[in-house]
Amino acid sequence: MVHIACDTHTHTVFSRHAYSTVEENVRAAAELRFELLGVTDHFSPMVCPEPQTGVDLRDYQHFLNFETWPRMWHGVRLMHGCEADIVDLDGHLYGWDMPVQRRLGGPVEEPGETLQEAVFRDCDYVIASVHGRPWAKGASREQLTRTYLRALEHPKVLMLGHVGRSGLDFDIDEVATAARDLGKLIEVNEGSLYGRQDCGERCRHIVERCLAAGCMVSTASDAHISCDVARLDRTRRLLEEVGYPARLVATRDAETFLRVWERTLG
């Protein structure tokens, strides 16, 4: 069996449609002897409606006080980041065009900083994902491929999230090759492999093409409740069936993941 010891994409109560705390998720990872947990809440209009009168950072405090988090907790290496929505065909990520109008301490004298800058600053890494996609309507395969390529190029983005269920028709060979060249990752998402979201065949194809490109993958429960954290049975099975070599699984142990992270974003 493919050994996996990191879950790089999980949610907490901050995401509002998720139900566990950071510590509950950490404990769940520790129970399954996972070495590393990434907490990556949604940075998206799903959580706070798009501001009509300028950004108030009081709505995003979750992302602004990461320095209080321990690096190791219950024996698990803890990483903090976010899952940012791709919001247009140019591959921009949420908040890129939203100036901050009010900080925690009061109104901003001279607006300049964007919401994205404020939120990404202390993120260890960012996952770029597609959720709502009205902007993709009528777009060509070339355009959608470029969307993913542009998102991948953002200096804070370490991986593309659940590309198998984005609903976008894009060229996975081109995207996986770019990820390989940038030292970045394509995520294999457990949540895409069961229930109403089952994208099994599509996900298998994506994993096969990642292998052909020699691109590294990350593994993620995308848990929205602690009992799903670090549960990656279907992901393991898929990687096993495709014959994914351990050397290309960035999440096989914490040391490997941290090395990839430092080399690529450090």
Residues near Zn ion (CB under 5 A) are: 83, 129, 222
Q: Which is nearer to Zn ion, 88 or 113 (CB)?
A: 88
Distance (Å, whole) CA 231 – CA 117? 32
Q: Min. distance of Cβ 78 from Zn ion in angstroms? A: 17
Q: Which is nearer to Zn ion, 18 or 100 (CB)?
A: 18
Structure-block tokens of residue 208: 């096969």
Distance (Å, whole) CA 192 – CA 203? 8
User: Is 64 in contact with 100 (CB distance < 8 Å)?
Assistant: no
Q: Min. distance of Cβ 220 from Zn ion in angstroms? A: 8
143 burial (CB, 10 Å; 0-12 / 13-18 / 19+) is middle
Q: Min. distance of Cβ 15 from Zn ion in angstroms? A: 8
Q: Min. distance of Cβ 66 from Zn ion in angstroms? A: 18
Distance (Å, whole) CA 159 – CA 162? 10
Distance (Å, whole) CA 121 – CA 64? 8
Q: Which is nearer to Zn ion, 46 or 139 (CB)?
A: 46
Q: Which is nearer to Zn ion, 190 or 222 (CB)?
A: 222
Structure-block tokens of residue 25: 């998720």
Q: Which is nearer to Zn ion, 42 or 146 (CB)?
A: 42
Q: Which is nearer to Zn ion, 100 or 206 (CB)?
A: 206
User: In the chain, what's the furthest Cα-to-Cα distance?
Assistant: 57
Q: Min. distance of Cβ 155 from Zn ion in angstroms? A: 21
SS3 content of the chain, % helix, strand, coil (to 5): 40, 20, 35
Query: How far is the CA of 266 from the CAs of 19, 155, 247, 260, in angstroms?
Result: 32, 10, 21, 9
Q: Min. distance of Cβ 217 from Zn ion in angstroms? A: 16
